[in-house]
Amino acid sequence: MSASPFPRMMHVALVVADYDEAIAWYTQKLGFRLVEDTVLSEVKRWVLVQPKGEGSCQLLLAKAATEEQKSRVGNQTGGRVFLFLHTDDFEKEHLNLVEQGIEIVRGPSEEEYGKVLVFADLYGNLWDLIG
């Protein structure tokens, strides 16, 4: 079997309503780091944030520009969990979510793969926290 020509996934686009409010939420509430914020035009920026863990995939915060894109903000996956964060200290991260006032949608619960809870980001996208 040959190796994949694609060694890793680098970015996942997340449609947002506003660059600055999304940057603030992800960096201040979840503790992500701002990797890049480059102005491409009067209305478009290249904005990358990522969890602080080594080798983490980066979120490309993409501002909705059309009505169709605006309709997807907060619901890119039809209400399914969209993104997944793994932690070695589930209780600490759960407490941080609560202290930051982040909506816990389900859980925490024990599953075959570990502890899990579902939370919503500032736009309503669903995330799993898995420990």
The pLDDT tens digits of the residues spanning 84-126 come to: 999 999 999 999 999 999 999 999 999 998 999 999 999 999 9
The label of the residue with tokens 């907060």 reads: 74
Strand-pair category, 126-130 with 114-120: antiparallel
Topology of domain 74-131 in CATH is 3.30.720
Which helix (H) or strand (E) segment holds residue 106: the answer is strand 104-111
Please, are residues 26 and 85 in contact by the beta-carbon 8 Å criterion? no
Please, are residues 50 and 32 in contact by the beta-carbon 8 Å criterion? yes
Asked if the model's pLDDT at residue 3 lies above 70, the reply is no
CATH class of the 9-73 domain in this structure: alpha beta
Q: Where in the chain is the domain with CATH 3.30.720.110?
A: 74-131
User: What predicted TM-score, i.e. pTM, was given to this entire model?
Assistant: 0.90
Please, are residues 90 and 82 in contact by the beta-carbon 8 Å criterion? no
pLDDT tier, 56 (very low <50, low <70, confident <90, very high otherwise):
confident
Please give the residue that has the higher pLDDT: either 9 or 83. Answer: 83
What proportion of the chain, given as a percentage, has pLDDT over 70? Answer: 96
**Torsion angle (degrees, nearest 10) of CA 83, 88, 93, 95:** 140
> 66-80, pLDDT tens digit by residue?
999 999 999 989 889
Strand partners, 59: 12, 49
Asked if the model's pLDDT at residue 41 lies above 70, the reply is yes
